[in-house]
C-alpha cells in the first residue's frame, strides 16, 4: 500500500465578504465573499509528484498557502505525514519548503550568501553548506562565476533557480512548488524540471506542483488534479485524463484538449473569466 504524505479533507477558504478592516458593513453594503478553495479533498502519496493544473485565479496558490500553514482553512482539515497543519504547525513547517512565483531574497547579497543564511537557519554546518550550495547551483545550470554576484544583477530565471536550490538544501520531505517556472526561458524551465525529477528520484521527496503549463504538468506529474473555480473537477494520471477526454473528433487529445474537455473552456478563457470575476467581486 502507498503511504499518504498529504491528506486534504474537504477544505474551504474564502476571502472578503461583509467584514471591513475597521468594522462591519451595513446590510445594504454587504458583499459576497470570494471562495478561493471550495471543499477540496485530495491525497498525495509519498514520493509522488502531484500536479494541480488550473488557470490563474483558480485557487492553486491559495491551496499551496494553506498546505504551507500561511493560511488557516475556514473548514476541513489537512494533515502532512500525519500532522495536522493547524494543531501541529511547527512540526509541519519543519517537514516542508515552498517555492513561489516571486521568491524573496536579500537582493544585495549573492546566491551563496543568501543560501548560507538559509542553511544557517536550519542548523546546517557551514563547511557542509558551502560544499552543497556550490554543487546544487551547478546542478541547476548556474555558472560558478555567478555564485558571488549580487542577486539584483541576475535575471528572474536565475533568481528562481536559487529559490529552488534554497528549498532543496533544507532537505524537505515535502516540497511545495507554486508556478516555479512561470516567466522562465525554455532552457531555465528544462533545468528546473530536471532538478525536480532528481529531487524526487534521488532524495525521496514528495512534490506538489501547481502550474498552468500543460506540457510541464504532463512531463513531470505522476497524477494531476484539474482545479477550476476553486473545485477539483477531475483527477488522474496524465494518460488517464487524456484517455477520458477522447472524442470522435479528438481521438488523440493533448493535455490542453483534456483541460477544455473537463472545464468546458480553454485555459485562456478560464483566466479571463477568473480575472473578470475577481474585478466584479
Model confidence at 281: pLDDT above 70: no
Q: What is the average pLDDT score of the chain?
A: 86
Instruction: Name the range with the highest mean pLDDT among 72-81, 102-111, 270-279.
Output: 72-81
Average pLDDT over residues 84-98: 92
Residue 269 is predicted with a pLDDT of 66
159 HSE (CA, 13 A, CB side): 19
Confidence of residue 86 (pLDDT cuts 50, 70, 90): very high
The pLDDT tens digits for 184-199 are: 788 888 888 888 888 8
Whole-angstrom Cα distance, residue 270 to residue 216? Answer: 18
To 10 degrees, the CA torsion angle through 188, 189, 191, 197?
Answer: 160
Nearest to 221 by CA among 229, 231, 211: 211
Whole-angstrom Cα distance, residue 138 to residue 179? Answer: 22
Model confidence at 180: pLDDT above 70: yes
Determine the CATH number of domain 4-280.
3.40.50.300
Whole-angstrom Cα distance, residue 34 to residue 11? Answer: 15
Average pLDDT over residues 151-178: 85
Model confidence at 164: pLDDT above 80: yes
The pLDDT tens digits for 8-48 are: 999 999 998 654 444 555 554 556 789 999 999 999 999 99
Q: Assign residue 99 a region (left: φ > 0; alpha: ψ between -120 and 50; beta: otherwise).
A: beta
Crossing angle of the two packed helices 156-169 and 126-139, in degrees rounded to 10 = 130
Let me know: does 147 contact 111? Beta carbons within 8 Å. Answer: yes
Helix (H, G, I), strand (E, B) or coil at 26: coil
Read off the DSSP letter of residue 143: -
Q: Cell 532538478, residue?
A: 195
The pLDDT tens digits for 51-71 are: 999 988 899 999 999 999 999
Residue 81 is predicted with a pLDDT of 96
Helix (H, G, I), strand (E, B) or coil at 98: strand
Let me know: does 185 contact 154? Beta carbons within 8 Å. Answer: no
The pLDDT tens digits for 108-145 are: 999 999 999 988 888 888 888 998 999 889 888 888 99
Residue 181 is predicted with a pLDDT of 83
Average pLDDT over residues 163-174: 84
Q: Cell 532552457, residue?
A: 187
Residue 247 is predicted with a pLDDT of 92
Which residue has better confidence, 246 or 28?
Answer: 246
Whole-angstrom Cα distance, residue 190 to residue 203? Answer: 19
**Sequence ranges of the domains in the chain:** 4-280
Model confidence at 252: pLDDT above 70: yes
pTM: 0.85
Residue 270 is predicted with a pLDDT of 64
Amino acid at each position: 500500500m502507498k503511504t499518504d504524505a498529504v491528506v486534504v479533507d474537504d477544505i474551504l477558504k474564502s476571502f472578503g465578504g461583509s467584514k471591513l478592516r475597521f468594522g462591519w458593513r451595513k446590510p445594504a453594503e454587504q458583499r459576497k465573499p470570494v471562495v478561493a478553495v471550495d471543499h477540496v479533498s485530495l491525497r498525495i502519496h509519498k514520493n509522488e509528484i502531484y500536479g494541480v493544473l488550473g488557470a490563474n485565479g483558480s485557487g492553486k496558490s491559495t491551496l499551496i498557502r494553506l498546505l504551507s500553514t500561511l493560511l488557516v482553512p475556514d473548514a476541513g482539515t489537512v494533515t502532512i505525514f500525519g500532522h495536522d497543519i493547524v494543531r501541529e504547525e511547527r512540526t509541519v513547517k519543519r517537514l516542508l519548503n515552498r517555492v513561489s512565483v516571486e521568491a524573496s531574497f536579500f537582493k544585495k547579497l549573492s546566491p551563496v550568501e543568501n543560501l548560507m543564511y538559509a542553511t544557517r537557519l536550519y542548523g546546517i554546518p557551514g563547511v557542509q553548506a558551502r560544499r552543497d550550495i556550490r554543487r546544487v547551483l551547478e546542478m541547476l545550470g548556474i555558472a560558478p562565476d555567478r555564485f558571488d554576484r549580487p542577486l539584483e544583477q541576475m535575471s528572474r530565471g536565475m533568481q528562481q533557480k536559487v529559490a529552488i536550490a534554497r528549498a532543496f538544501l533544507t532537505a524537505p520531505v515535502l516540497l511545495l512548488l507554486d508556478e516555479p517556472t512561470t516567466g522562465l526561458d525554455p532552457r531555465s524551465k528544462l533545468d528546473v524540471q530536471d532538478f525536480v525529477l532528481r529531487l524526487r528520484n534521488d532524495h525521496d521527496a514528495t512534490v506538489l506542483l501547481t502550474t498552468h503549463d500543460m506540457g510541464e504538468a504532463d512531463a513531470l506529474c505522476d497524477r494531476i488534479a484539474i482545479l477550476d473555480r476553486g473545485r477539483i473537477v477531475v483527477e488522474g494520471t496524465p494518460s488517464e485524463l487524456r484517455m477520458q477526454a477522447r472524442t470522435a473528433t479528438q481521438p488523440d487529445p493533448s493535455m490542453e484538449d483534456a483541460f477544455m474537455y473537463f472545464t468546458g473552456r480553454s485555459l485562456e478563457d478560464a483566466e479571463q473569466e477568473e480575472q473578470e470575476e475577481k474585478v466584479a467581486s
